[in-house]
Structure 1
């Protein structure tokens, strides 16, 4: 049995994410949990003629939803509104995420946990600290989904240079998942950066870092990035399932992870920068993280971006961990 749970399944991200997951033959049971409307979403999706069984679970049914899950995807929480930063979301979403992590620890301690809920730089440490408190934390199995930054980068790069195929061109994005912590490594696209002026490079980098604001503004108070995030979240989840369920090798996605998931590769970086979490390219294996790929060689321009990202990340990580530990 491969049971996948979506926590926050009735929300703006949760519904399209659940629809995309319902199409996968790798999933046998798709459990949808939310405080409202999850049974209705489940009933709707259950009519789709793929093999997974769909169940809906309301506010008082979290334990049944999570029981024996293989993978838990968490888009739960409130969306950003105009003028609201990802950090503003922390006060609201931190408690929601901690409660869900408690449910994971109790009902499916060996599950892969995929965190979408913002601010990811802080919510992933919250999940980790709750699981540590229960003695079930495995750094190879907890992921912050930063895939949307990669998806946006590929699309935005193709708009600057139409000869770049947005589907086949994968841009490495490292750091974190908000603002200045998002560091796209555009120098790795052959011949791309050389054709840009400094102003064009600045504008493209800013757009990648703050692409979410573009959507929030366009929706005019009606929400944040939901459809693109659902696409990115499903891409990540299905790639992970390919590796963990079928054993397919060589699968890589960018992810915000605890660096102890691959101590051998990250020990020097962790000691130098004092960071427990960082987004890097991750190769998946049967146990989740197989390898964390080394920090790529960066240009002088990208190094300035990293220098700005490190202190911001440290603050975000500390804020998330302290929410649970009180330290």
Structure 2
């Protein structure tokens, strides 16, 4: 069976490299690009790459969003405006929340069975917005909606490898749970496989670096953008994991921000955190989320302290998304 993938926000800083990586994937037979500018050009450029995926680019005119999304199997959404220095993720909120809400409304109509991967920040709020829109349209399947938190995992692998002298960071598995901004990001170094020994004096800086790695990139780019290339890689890595699961590959586990009450294994984590959405290790399969694993059963005291701060912040972020979905600000 052919797989149709869509990138919504394909012309942007994340969208272009993400589209490039998806075009190289043998798991995709059709790739549709959608954005408010430049998509025909991006599609023409990528169409010269000698991989199987047939590529098309759409703009808003002539119902472009609907044509791009129609019958999609998987939609990756990096759409939105990037963070500029001095901007909090909150400053971006109303703009990006509105963009995501509009895209999800289209997907609900023309591709109700699509697997939806949300990258647009703030993920802690945009995923709950998506869930509320899908619920209102009667097509919400918690097993098919994901907030992409893979960049936090990628950073954890990379930074730990630097400390312990591991040549291949990808040989490490480090669960990162919670949300996808600042203190809501909780790296569980105690559950790393193979286990890692991080000197106690290095731990606080390491945790902070995983939580605020994005700020490093914003500062280094000096007003010219945020983490786009690493995010594109992370988005591709997670999209590929979802596609492998759909293809029937076994034991594909990646952390993702999902709706706990609607997924197998989510109840215990929901009960313990009181959060409806939480990033936890997810086993991916032919229906999306097969089950989630509870990482909270053996966390150490330092991680418990991080978790407490995470849950407080996350509840507010989730509530903000739900409230936006029901009462969007008047233009």
What band does the TM-score fall into relative to the shorter chain?
over 0.9
SS in 1 for 2:295: coil
SS in 1 for 2:282: strand
- Give the counterpart of 2:212 among 210, 233, 238: 210
1:121 paired to 2:124: yes
- Point out the more displaced range, 316-325 or 82-91: 82-91
SS in 2 for 1:30: strand
Unaligned runs of 5+ in 2: none
How far did residue 175 of structure 1 move? 0.4
| Structure-to-structure mapping, 1:115-264, within 5 angstroms | 115-163=118-166, 165-189=168-192, 192-193=196-197, 195-197=198-200, 199-244=201-246, 246-263=247-264
- Give the counterpart of 1:111 among 85, 109, 114: 114
Contact 2:269–2:294, Cα closer than 8 Å, also in 1: no
Cα deviations by residue, 1:175-226 (Å, 9 ceiling, x for unpaired): 0100001000111235634x412x3100000000000000000000100000
Contact 2:69–2:107, Cα closer than 8 Å, also in 1: yes
SS in 2 for 1:247: coil
CA distance, structure 1, for counterparts of residue 146 and residue 243 of structure 2: 13
Query: Where do 4+ consecutive residues of structure 1 move more than 6 Å?
Result: none
Partner residue in 2 for 1:268: 268
CA distance, structure 2, for counterparts of residue 42 and residue 269 of structure 1: 42
CA distance, structure 2, for counterparts of residue 11 and residue 326 of structure 1: 28
So what's the TM-score if we normalise by structure 2?
0.95
How far did residue 267 of structure 1 move? 1.7
CA distance, structure 1, for counterparts of residue 187 and residue 272 of structure 2: 21
CA distance, structure 2, for counterparts of residue 260 and residue 4 of structure 1: 27
Q: RMSD of the alignment, in Å?
A: 1.3
CA distance, structure 2, for counterparts of residue 63 and residue 319 of structure 1: 28
CA distance, structure 2, for counterparts of residue 55 and residue 269 of structure 1: 41
Partner residue in 1 for 2:57: 56
Cα deviations by residue, 1:30-54 (Å, 9 ceiling, x for unpaired): 0000000000000000011111100
Partner residue in 2 for 1:18: 19
So what's the TM-score if we normalise by structure 1?
0.96
CA distance, structure 2, for counterparts of residue 128 and residue 166 of structure 1: 34
Cα deviations by residue, 1:95-124 (Å, 9 ceiling, x for unpaired): 000000001011100000000000000000
